[in-house]
Structure formats: C-alpha cells, structure tokens
Structure 1
Amino acid sequence: MEQARVEYFRGKDFVSFIKNHPECKEILEEDKDLDTEDIANVLLEKNLLVRCDRVTKTLRPGKKKLSTWPVHLEIFRVSLFAVDWMIDLSLKMMRFFPWTFEKRHPLWQTLSSFFWPVLTRSICLFPVYPHRCKLIVLYSCAGILLMILSLLFVRAVAFGGMWILLGKRVWFFPNILAEEATLKELFRFWPKKDEEEPPKWRSRLFYTVVAVVVVMLLRRHAPDEAARARYQ
C-alpha cells in the first residue's frame, strides 16, 4: 500500500469471522452488543484500519478472474465499512482493509540495522582488501551466481518436460524471480496451481521436435576427449 508492506483482510471475511467467533466481542465490554459494521467503523474512525482498493482492476491475459489477494493496494476515498459491504456485494472488488498499527520489531531487524552499515562500509573498503580476501569474495560470488543459474536451469528443464509430456505448467520455486517476495516466499518450493488452458498437442509436438534437434546438435558438436584434455 503506497510502497509499504501491510497486512490486510477482506470485508466479508471480517463479517464471517465475527459471526463465527462471538466470544471475540467480550473484549469490548460495554460495547460488546455492537454490530459487526459498527465495530469496523469504530476501528476506521480510530485510524486502526484504512479503506483500500486494488490497484489493478483489469484481468491479465489468460486469467478468468481477478486475484483474490492483490499485491498492490491504494487508499480508497470511502472509509465506512457499511458502504464497503454494499459495494462488495455489487462489484466484488473494493473490499480490503489494511491494519495501520505497527508490530513490535523482532530481534533480527534490530541486528540488521546494526550490520547493514557495517556491511556497506566493508563493501566500500573492498579495493584495499588483501589479495587473498578479494579471491574469497570473488569465488563466493561466483559460487552463488552458479547456484542461482543452476536452479533456474533445473526449474526450466522440469517445466519443459512436464509441459511436453503432461501438458502442465509447473514452475518449481515459483517466486525465485519475484522482486517483492519475502525471503520465506522466495524459496517456497511448491508450485502454484495451473489455472490456464492446457496447451494444444500440436504445440507440444513442435517443441518436442525442437528439443530433440537441439540435444542432437549439442551431442554432435560436443568436444571429444582430446579437446577436453586440452581445456583441462
């Protein structure tokens, strides 16, 4: 929401939660008899919630419906929950309420606020490092880059094989190239569900022939034992 990460919920989920968990109203004491819409409006008036709408309102190519949980939100001009509930029933779009309070900072954030300046200064002083330290940094970066490229190659091969054999679009590590994913989401292994239409058998047959031709060309022009010995 406006370049800040927030936690939000949908209006209809709030209504169903209060309906299914009436014991939550006990913390309101004398106001426990308030309706769900009134409770939400009080939270809005005290600026504990803010009324938002999704930024992208058009369907992506190949999609049949908008995302249930959009990534980008923008503040909406109407702030009453009851109005949102009526809009939600009619349009099924404008229905998101981010929390505005900030959680207590965990220990790792405190430590990172100390180590980031140290790391920045260390990077700036890299030209005066001893030669051995420069080699360690070079090989470490090269190893990480090789690991990332290997992971991308393996997931591309798995995608191509399943697409050709089964007609399924399966991307392992689906968030590995996402710019706004958290560290936990970045290394999520399980792929997303394929919601697009299955590919046609002609396309699968064509790319099968292309893959076989490429493998045969690579095998034909691969270096022999003498060439490999010279490279070594």
Structure 2
Amino acid sequence: MAPKGPSREEDPLKQFADRLRAKNGIEYRSSVLHDQRVEFIRGKDLARYLRSHEEQFQPFVSRASKTEQQVKELGDLMLRRRFLIKADRMFKKPKPGRKRLVKWPKKLVPAESPLSFQEEFFYAWTYDRPKSPWYYVLCGLAFLGITLCTMFPLAPRPIKLVALYVSMTLIIIIFSVLLIRGLVAMTTWILLGRSLWIFPHLLSEEKGIDEAFWPLYELDERPEEGKGSHWFVRIGMALALIGTVWALHVYVPDKAGSVKDGAWQAHDAILEMLNLHGAGQQKLGSGDMGPGNATTPGAANGAGQGSPGAGAGAGHVFGEDLGKEPASDEL
C-alpha cells in the first residue's frame, strides 16, 4: 500500500525515505513477500545509518529523547505511515551443510508486532524506487538503439562497418574484463585464501547499471577459523592452472602467423555473412545482380535478331492458348 497523505511527493517523510533509497543510502536486496518481489533492508543497517545522520531525521522525532529512542521513534513512524513493512525470514534454520543463516534471505514473511521497530528484523519498502534521470535517458537510448538495429539492413556500407566494428570491440572488451576479473580473483584466492574482485557488482542481479561499476574492487571477508579453503586445495588448483597453461603452450600450434590468419579468416567470414565485402557489395536499385545473372551482349543480340520462331517463342505469353480448341494435327 502507498503511504497516505494529501501531497505524497511533498511529504517531508517521503523525501527522507527517498534519501534512504538513494545511491549512497542503505544497502538493500530483493526478496519475495506475499508472493511479490520487493526490495528490503535490514533493521540494523537502518539503525546504523540513522545514528550517523542524526541531523536528517530530527524534524520527525522528539528532541528531548536520546538517540536510541529517536531511532525507534522514527522506525515506528515509518511503519505506521506504511513506508515500510516489518518482515522476518521464512526459513529460520540454516540449510543442510551450512552453520549460519544467510545474510539476505530470498523469502520473507510478515513479522509479529508489525508497528514496532526492532533492529533484528527486516523491512520491505512499500513503494517503487524513485526513478533517476539517467533511467529515462537510458530508456530513450534503448529505444533509439532498437530502431537503428531494425534499419541495419538498409544502412549504407560504411555505417554497417562502423556498427559491426563497434559491436565487436565492445564484445572483446567485455570478455577481456571478465577474463582479467576471474584471473585476479583466482590468483588472490590461491595466495591469500580470499578473492579480490574487480567490479564486484558487475554480475549482480540486485544492482542497477549505475551501481555495477562501483566500488572498483572488493576483497572477500576473512573466513572464520577452520572454514576457509585448505592450503592443499589452493596448491592443487594452482598446479592445475599451471598445467593447463603449459599444455596450451606445448600442444596448441604456436605459430603466430596461423593465429593471425585464423583471425583474418573469421573477420572475412563475418563480412561475407553480412554481405559487407567490398567486391560483393551492391547498391540497391543498380540492376547489377552479379556475374551469375549478367546478360552478355551476344545473348541480347541473339534474343533480338533470332529466327522468327525464336521471336515468336520469346513473344509467347503463358496462358494465351487456354480455352482454344487444339488443331487436328495435334490430336
């Protein structure tokens, strides 16, 4: 349900809630509550944020009370105004093979005492996240991109080549970033027992495109004693990686020319598939349909100066004899 109020967009509490959901606000995740996908936060994260930003919520609480009481007052107020719904995890026991509950559960259920704020519970937002101006810009660019893609067959050859090379460059960059990201994570895991991730939110389903490239790097938390990967496993993985690189170096043809030729063959095959080769590119309406359909001058003269029978045959219209009685010598 949406928060009640005559002017919701101008409501100071609504504006404060929007700041909580901004990029530099409280960390959130997505879960299922009442068979609906919702965004939710942890009560301890909300309380921690409020303690460090006391000046932002002073207009909504009693100034005479202490900080902890003010945090609870504001949490209760947001629950009463239906900006948040108090929830709890559906599965309260760890999964088989795990000793601890997950930090962000995938399924939630309504909690008891729904109007009382408590830090150990979760809180789901009841309204959609405010749209950033970049959202509308990206939507417009996506629509423009789809329109240009549908007009690709009609584009001039230079534009087709530019689009092709830009697309191939982006694909190469994406795969290169993923490869470097994986190698760095594996190397740090082998050496430290923890992975250093470049663009840790790059493949996250919970983050938007504006948050996928921030932070630039992140190191996994140090595992508890006895729960990390054993050094024997890490050494075995390192030996397997070294053996794979050695096998590729020894058994794969190490001729740089063959690799270069293969790349050019793939390049030419793509151009041929899209009919973008310079020799095979034809202009629309030019009438030049290629050597297989060309008409030689001799053939043209033969068609124009042939025998009367040939001319008659050439001038014969299919279907003009339909309905006529056959001649006697044809019976």
Structure 1 length-normalised TM: 0.69
CA-CA distance at 1:134 after TM superposition: 2.4
Q: Over residues 4-30 of structure 1, what are the superposed CA-to-partner deviations in whole Å (9 max), with x where a residue is unaligned?
A: 556x451684499479949945456xx
Q: Over residues 139-185 of structure 1, what are the superposed CA-to-partner deviations in whole Å (9 max), with x where a residue is unaligned?
A: 22211111111112112222232233333333322222222322243
Q: For residue 81 of structure 1, give the secondary structure of its aligned residue in structure 2.
A: coil
Distance 2:86 2:229 in 1: 40
Q: For residue 206 of structure 1, give the secondary structure of its aligned residue in structure 2.
A: helix
Query: Are residue 154 (structure 1) and residue 148 (structure 2) matched?
Result: no
Query: Are residue 10 (structure 1) and residue 43 (structure 2) matched?
Result: yes
- Is the contact between residue 53 and residue 74 of structure 1 (CA under 8 Å) also seen in structure 2? yes
Cα RMSD, aligned residues only = 4.0
Q: For residue 3 of structure 1, give the secondary structure of its aligned residue in structure 2.
A: strand
Distance 2:44 2:221 in 1: 28
Flag structure 1 segments of 5+ consecutive residues without an equivalent: none
CA-CA distance at 1:62 after TM superposition: 7.6
* Aligned residue number for residue 78 of structure 2: 43
CA 1:71–1:131: 2 relative to 1, 3 Å: farther
Query: Are residue 216 (structure 1) and residue 216 (structure 2) matched?
Result: no
Query: Are residue 173 (structure 1) and residue 199 (structure 2) matched?
Result: yes
Identity of counterpart residues, as a percentage? 19
CA-CA distance at 1:103 after TM superposition: 6.6
Structure 1 residue corresponding to 2:217, chosen from 190, 206, 210: 190
CA 1:163–1:46: 2 relative to 1, 3 Å: closer
Larger RCO of the pair (alpha carbons < 8 Å, separation 6+): 1
Distance 1:102 1:153 in 2: 35
Higher helix proportion, which one? Answer: 1
- Is the contact between residue 11 and residue 97 of structure 1 (CA under 8 Å) also seen in structure 2? no
- Is the contact between residue 63 and residue 195 of structure 1 (CA under 8 Å) also seen in structure 2? no
Higher strand proportion, which one? Answer: 2
- Is the contact between residue 52 and residue 73 of structure 1 (CA under 8 Å) also seen in structure 2? no
Which is further off, 148-157 or 190-199?
A: 190-199
Partner amino acid, structure 2, of 1:133: I
Partner amino acid, structure 2, of 1:118: L
Q: For residue 53 of structure 1, give the secondary structure of its aligned residue in structure 2.
A: strand
Distance 2:106 2:122 in 1: 11
CA 1:174–1:25: 2 relative to 1, 3 Å: closer
Structure 2 residue corresponding to 1:204, chosen from 210, 231, 234: 234
Query: Are residue 142 (structure 1) and residue 168 (structure 2) matched?
Result: yes
Partner amino acid, structure 1, of 2:235: L
- Is the contact between residue 59 and residue 66 of structure 1 (CA under 8 Å) also seen in structure 2? yes
Distance 1:15 1:48 in 2: 18
Within 5 Å, which residues of 2 pair with 1:44-59? 44-54=79-89, 59=94
Within 5 Å, which residues of 2 pair with 1:7-156? 8=41, 10=43, 13-14=46-47, 17=50, 21=54, 24-27=57-60, 40-54=75-89, 59=94, 65-68=100-103, 70=104, 72=106, 74=108, 76=110, 78=112, 80-82=114-116, 85=118, 92=120, 95-100=121-126, 105-156=131-182
Structure 2 length-normalised TM: 0.52
